[in-house]
Amino acid sequence: MTEFGYTAMCEQTPVKQLVSDLAEAEAAGFDFSVMSDHYFPWIEEQGHSGYAWSVLGAAAHATERLPLMTFVTCPTMRYHPAVVAQKAATMGVLSDGRFSLGIGSGENLNEHVIGLGWPARQVRHEMLSEALDIIARLFTGKYVNYRGKHFSVARAKLYDIPDKPPPIYVAGSGPASLRLAAEKGDGMISVEPLRELVQAFDKAAGPGKPKFGQLPISYDSDEDAARERARRLWRWGVAGWKVNAELPDPEAFEACSATVTEDDVCSVVSCGPDVATHVEAVRAYVDAGYTHVALVGVGADKQGEFISWASKELLPALRGLC
């Protein structure tokens, strides 16, 4: 049975509101939640990018049952994997086991800030593979020494760890990353409703592991307003992952998306007041084989309305799919 989650999007939402939105999402009946982990917003108009791990700590105390998850953290540049392991273990304790670690190879947008450039894709996959090994070893609570091609760990040990290590879900979009997710992760993450991605992962990992997808929704009682908001705040998403992983800052995304139209955006964002329209957009993920679909409400000032509408109309309709 597919589960439907709420996305706390740090790039568009003030940090205190992220916490209150998650509490509202729990009360509204969402099955789980995910949170982006960015240094920058995608475009200047989004206007926010608080530190996700501080917000997650607050959210662990503001909620009681809602599963929490990063979507996704890059454990290779801004953060050393040993530090990510410590953060994730701490979140596992704070949340009483409700935290999952979603990780991926990252974007230039967020990782270039430490001044070490942006590695080629193959190098990023090598780094992610080593990071997964380090994190898994540290989750055992034992001393860890590690020397790889990209990372070293010298006698590190975690003291505050949950009874059960947080599951690790790995973002994948192609053969190499999907193999890595299958070999070293507990499940996969993707943002495309493509059956072939899910099938490739299941073939490599075996059936039964979770598959997380994500879908942006611009809800409004006025369809024109929903479309305008989607174009204004989500035009960066039209170019696709191969472009989005490489651009260095919001100004570059502004330039790249300057000529994107409302129709272009509405090809990737489900827009308007009609529940059936959004159900069909989610159905693509369900039919592709995703076990979890995280929904993004476009626009920070619309979150309360989005959550209330989802509780009363969208979530009941989506559960009819399963």
Catalytic residues, by residue number, are 38, 107
Q: What one-character DSSP code corresponds to residue 40? A: S
Instruction: Give 212's strand partners.
Output: 189, 292
Q: What is the SS3 assignment for 15?
A: helix
> What does the alpha-carbon distance between residue 216 and residue 232 come to, in Å, rounded to a whole number?
13
Q: What is the SS3 assignment for 180?
A: helix
Residues contacting 279, CB < 8 A, separation 6+:
314, 317, 318, 321
**Which residue in 89, 182, 193, 198 sits closest to 141, CA to CA?**
89
Q: Are 102 and 169 in contact (CB under 8 A)?
A: yes
Angle of helix 52-62 relative to helix 81-94, nearest 10 degrees, comes to 10
Q: Are 169 and 186 in contact (CB under 8 A)?
A: yes
Tell how strand 168-171 and strand 68-69 pair up: unpaired
